[in-house]
Structure formats: C-alpha cells, structure tokens
Amino acid sequence: MFNKVILVGHLGKNPDIKYFDSGSIVASFSIAVLDTFKKGTEKKQKTQWFNVKIWGKLAETAATYLRKGSKVLIEGKLSVEEYKNKEDVKVRRTYINADKFIFLNKKEKAPRITPVRDEIEEYDEDIDY
C-alpha cells in the first residue's frame, strides 16, 4: 500500500502549538488549496481545506516561520483520528501527518532605509567619569 499526500496551499491561521509532558511538540494548522476545474466550457474554482499536523523539530520550525497566509508545500501521509465529542458521539477526523514542508513565499524586498545623521550630544566638561 502507498499513503502519500502532497499539497500546495496557504495557511488559514497561525499554527497552534501543543507541548506534551513527554517532551513532544505538535504544530497544527489548516491550509486552503485552490482546486480549478471545468464545468462544461466554464472554468470554476473551489477552495478545499485540509488539516495538517507536524511533529518534533519540524513543528518548532513551522511555529517559528509559518504564519496565516503563508504559501507552503506540505508532504506527508493521510491519517484519521477517532475520538468522542462532548455529546459522547464518535467523531472521525482526517488530517495530513506531515513529514516535510517547503516555504513557497517569494522573498520580499527589504524596505529602503534613509540614513539619519545621529545627533552628537555635548557633555559638560566638568563632569568626572
């Protein structure tokens, strides 16, 4: 069997970080992926949302650098978690268990800074230093 997912999209919000007593860390976020298709002769677009989890050192990197709106390539495996909600109903949630991500944002140009001449302070010569 083969379980591999590769997605390119934009983060819907900043990653949520969770630390565990065991020392593990997980970053969770969702990405929006634009799906373009034809319906007859008309070109249509649909946004699909995918939940992503990243573990360990990679989670720390994601928490540091990824922000809402960041364009990213996610690579990992499709996973399903099951749990019971507050009403004791069994819920299944599908997510991408990422083992790799690549930043795809274009580098922004640094703002042009106009040098400002520092003002020179004059000291009273009678002060002992």
The CATH number linked to 68 is 2.40.50.140
- pLDDT surpasses 50 at 129: no
Of the candidates 115, 111, 112, 81, the residue with the CA atom closest to the CA atom of residue 96: 81
The whole-number average pLDDT for the span 54-70 is 93
- pLDDT surpasses 90 at 114: no
- pLDDT surpasses 50 at 2: yes
Of the candidates 84, 111, 110, 26, the residue with the CA atom closest to the CA atom of residue 60: 26
Residue 35 lies in a domain: yes
From CA 31, how far away is CA 6, in angstroms rounded?
A: 12
**Phi/psi at 67 (nearest 5 deg)?**
-140, 165
Letter string b/e over residues 46-69, b meaning 16 or more CB atoms within 10 A of that residue's CB:
eeeebebbbeeebbeebbeebeee
Task: Say what the pLDDT of residue 124 is.
Answer: 44
- pLDDT surpasses 70 at 123: no
Residue 108 lies in a domain: no
Task: Say what the pLDDT of residue 39 is.
Answer: 87
Q: pTM for this one?
A: 0.74
Residue 109 lies in a domain: no
Residue 92 lies in a domain: yes
Q: How many domains does the chain have?
A: 1
Mean pLDDT of all residues belonging to the chain: 85
Domain hosting 38: range is 5-103
- Considering only residues 108 and 83, tell me which one the structure prediction assigns the higher pLDDT: 83
Rounded to the nearest 5 degrees, what angle is found at the Cα of 24, between the Cα atoms of 14 and 76?
60
